[in-house]
Amino acid sequence: MVTINTNTPVDEELVKEKEAAFAAFIQRRGLKTTRQRNTIISTFFRMRGHISVEELLVQVKKANPRIGYATVYRTLHLLVESGLVEERRFGDGLARYEGHSAVEHHDHMICLECGLISEFYNPRLEALQESLAEENNFEIYRHRLELYGVCKDKAACEARKQQKAARAQGA
Amino acid sequence: MVTINTNTPVDEELVKEKEAAFAAFIQRRGLKTTRQRNTIISTFFRMRGHISVEELLVQVKKANPRIGYATVYRTLHLLVESGLVEERRFGDGLARYEGHSAVEHHDHMICLECGLISEFYNPRLEALQESLAEENNFEIYRHRLELYGVCKDKAACEARKQQKAARAQGA
DNA sequence: TGGATTACGAAAACTGTTTTCATTATTGAA
DNA sequence: TTCAATAATGAAAACAGTTTTCGTAATCCA
Ligand SMILES: [Mn+2]
Ligand SMILES: [Mn+2]
Ligand SMILES: [Zn+2]
Ligand SMILES: [Zn+2]
């Protein structure tokens, strides 16, 4: 298993690449380059994790308070269409977005106590899914696997939970 | 792999068992037995597949047109709480419900062309997930795995698609 | 630089679901 | 059997997240 580390700082090189890739996409589609879209994508790519529209908007407004959420929604759709970003839904009723990690595809473990989302990738798991699809005469385009449960490290889990509560209080 | 067959007729024995189990749950919780709830659950348990609220309400109204969707929603929540029914979300934005099949837990393959949902269960897959969780110091409560793709049997897939379109037209 | 085209932002609309609230039904005790 | 107390119902309003509308503003190519 590969467990994907989310705590490393954001790689500026990579961000620049993604910004360029998005610019190319905009070009290709005959769309226009705008101040707002640039602000939104450069904010987004510098954030970590699985980001909700709300969370993104808060950050975006720090750079330009006049940007509204319609534009954020619209830009996120473009990011998804460009293939640079994936939409996730972990069952709390809101869409979350993530730029691709180092590993192209990955699945998730979600702690129901502290909210920690761990990412993992396992080739045996992927292969097994393929073979099950094969048996059923089915061709897989994409899949989603989410493991819901709790951290076994209760101390760390509780600490994250506290931290989260404090943040919610302050906000 | 076990592929679960959804085309067999509903087992009346099993339905009666489920109705009894729900009655027991209602009792245990100190809730009241009502005409509406009985209608809703007996309708639900006689339907097959992954049923949306809308689909259920249509059938329920045939037995009692005065039943509103608030009661259907409320009863479905009770069914889920009772453990007799599971809620599913396959990404089309609406909740779907299913009574347990022969196999307690199962995962899904969803055809993006014809909408066919195949159910499967594979112990190796389950075990692999457990071992991945173990490696990550995580305890799984539940999981969801969905494979999205297309049927390889194009003829059968197309036929289902046509049938679906015809049904939508007629409704 | 003009002018067709695209994007923006605020607000309204939409969708699936939940809640409210006045009314009705169920239930266990008298 | 009544009789409350309690819970459930149904219509409509509220809700949350997201999408659409529409008048105005920005972009960008000839
Ligand atoms: Mn992820
Ligand atoms: Mn199923
Ligand atoms: Zn945790
Ligand atoms: Zn198909």
Instruction: Please tell me whether residues A39 and A87 are part of one structural domain.
Output: yes
**pLDDT per position as a tens digit, A124-170:** 999 999 999 999 999 999 999 999 999 999 999 999 998 887 877 66
CATH value at residue A49:
1.10.10.10
Domain count, chain B: 2
**Dist CA B148 CA A91 (whole Å):** 18
Residue B163 pLDDT more than 80?
A: yes
3-state secondary structure of B55: helix
Per-residue model confidence (pLDDT) at position B104:
76
With b for 16 or more beta-carbon neighbours within 10 A and e for fewer, the A59-73 pattern comes to: ebbeeeeebeeebbe
A110 touches chain B (CB under 8 A): no
**A123 and A85 together in one domain:** no
What does the alpha-carbon distance between residue B129 and residue B143 come to, in Å, rounded to a whole number?
9
DSSP code string of A53-104: HHHHHHHHHHH-TT--HHHHHHHHHHHHHHTSEEEEE-SSSSEEEEE--SSS
Per-residue pLDDT tens over the stretch A48-107: 999 999 999 999 999 999 999 999 999 999 999 999 999 999 999 999 999 976 557 899
Q: What percent of chain B has pLDDT over 70?
A: 92
Question: B152 with B86, same domain?
Answer: no
Please tell me whether the overall predicted TM-score, pTM, comes out greater than 0.85 for this model: yes
Q: Which domain holds residue B166?
A: 107-170
Q: Which strand D bases fall within 7 angstroms of a protein CB?
A: 7-12, 16-21, 26-28
Tell me, yes or no, whether A72 and A127 share the same domain: no
* HEC-encoded secondary structure of B8-38: CCCCHHHHHHHHHHHHHHHHHCCCCCCHHHH
Nearest nucleotide, CA B94 to C1': C16
- In this prediction, residue B141 carries a pLDDT of 95
- Over residues B30-42, the pLDDT tens digits come to 999 999 999 999 9
Q: How far is A143 from chain B (nearest CA, A)?
A: 4
Q: For residue A164, what pLDDT is reported? A: 82
A58 and A8 assigned to the same domain: yes
Quick one: B29 and B112 in the same domain? no
Helix, strand, coil: what percent of chain B each, to 5? 50, 25, 30
Sheet of strand B51-52: strand arrangement: B51-52, B95-99, B85-89
- Asked if A142 and A88 touch (Cβ cutoff 8 Å), the reply is no
Closest CB from B139, B148, B150 relative to A152: B139
- Å from B106 (CA) to D9 (C1')? 35
Residues B83 and B6 in one domain: yes
Query: Which positions on strand C lie below 7 Å from a protein C-beta?
Result: 5-11, 15-20, 25-27
Q: How far is the CA of B89 from the centre of ligand 2 (A)?
A: 10
pLDDT at B170: 65
Residue A158 near residue A151 (C-beta atoms within 8 A)? no
The reply to whether residue A149 touches residue B129, judged by beta carbons under 8 angstroms, is no
Q: Are residues B20 and B66 in the same domain?
A: yes
CB atoms within 10 A of CB A123: 9
Confidence at residue B110, expressed as pLDDT on a 0 to 100 scale: 94
Q: Which pLDDT belongs to residue A108?
A: 96
Q: Are B13 and B93 in a shared domain?
A: yes
